Amino acid sequence: SQQGEEDPQALSIQEGENATMNCSYKTSINNLQWYRQNSGRGLVHLILIRSNEREKHSGRLRVTLDTSKKSSSLLITASRAADTASYFCATPRGDNNDMRFGAGTRLTVKP
Amino acid sequence: EAQVTQNPRYLITVTGKKLTVTCSQNMNHEYMSWYRQDPGLGLRQIYYSMNVEVTDKGDVPEGYKVSRKEKRNFPLILESPSPNQTSLYFCASSKATGTSIHNEQFFGPGTRLTVL
């Protein structure tokens, strides 16, 4: 079963708007990671947030983590057409080292 | 340049013909992993390795084999490919800390496999 599940599955916005994607997970984690994938290409790491952190920023990205709700969100501010991609959350399980990815959110930013 | 390389990038084969997809990283990473990506299912982990001679099953290991004889290489072997193994495959590597992985994974460019 999927450990991380992203919501929504697809999101379409205009350039300049903010995009928010959510991720829920089921088991305990030691960190949660967000990745980006341009169509058919390898994933690129965006940001990692540890289980003892609540919020983290990187440029136009803001990630929050709520371990009590087992959820995380990724906010992309002032979106650009170049942000069009699929975004995945991933978690290494706390008692194991396998990595679980969600099915992803497909973001389309219209110019 | 730090990178993960995979070969081949594209492969069309027939059912039952053994094949190997190679993966190599030049970052001295302990952790390496194979994933397959199918529409609507995201990435699913096939096998991973915490270090040389240490491999473990992921979510979907059936029909696949791996080996980790050297730190930099982690080949994926399909002994008898079947059409349901048609997929996009990614290799990834990461630095491991102690007995856990805490760090970002670096992904290869992907191998698109079609089994007829």
Work out the percent of chain A whose per-residue pLDDT is above 90.
Answer: 68
CB contact (8 A) between residue A42 and residue B43: no
CB contact (8 A) between residue A101 and residue B109: no
Residue type, B36: R
Which of A2, A101, A105 is the best mutation test for B, with the most CBs of B within 10 A?
A101
Q: Which two tokens stand for residue A74?
A: 């990724």
Among A39, A53, A48, residue whose Cα is nearest residue A74:
A48
Banded model confidence at residue A4, pLDDT cuts 50, 70, 90:
low
Residue B36, beta-bridge partner list = B44, B89
Cβ–Cβ contact A43 with B under 8 A: yes
Q: What are phi and psi of A67, to 5 degrees?
A: -70, -25
Per-residue pLDDT at A96 = 61
Residue type, B48: Y
Q: Is the peptide bond before B61 cis (omega within 30 degrees of 0)?
A: no
Q: Within 10 Å of residue B31's Cβ, how many Cβ atoms?
A: 25
Distance to chain A for B107, nearest Cα, Å: 5
Q: Give the nearest partner residue to B101 out of A2, A88, A97, using CB atoms.
A: A97
Residue A48, beta-bridge partner list = A33
* Strand intervals (E) in B30-107: 31-38, 42-51, 54-57, 65-66, 76-78, 87-94, 96-97, 100-101, 106-107
CB contact (8 A) between residue B101 and residue A92: yes
Q: What is the pLDDT of residues B37-90, one digit of tens each?
A: 998 888 999 999 989 999 999 989 999 999 999 999 999 999 999 999 999 999
Cβ–Cβ contact A40 with B under 8 A: yes
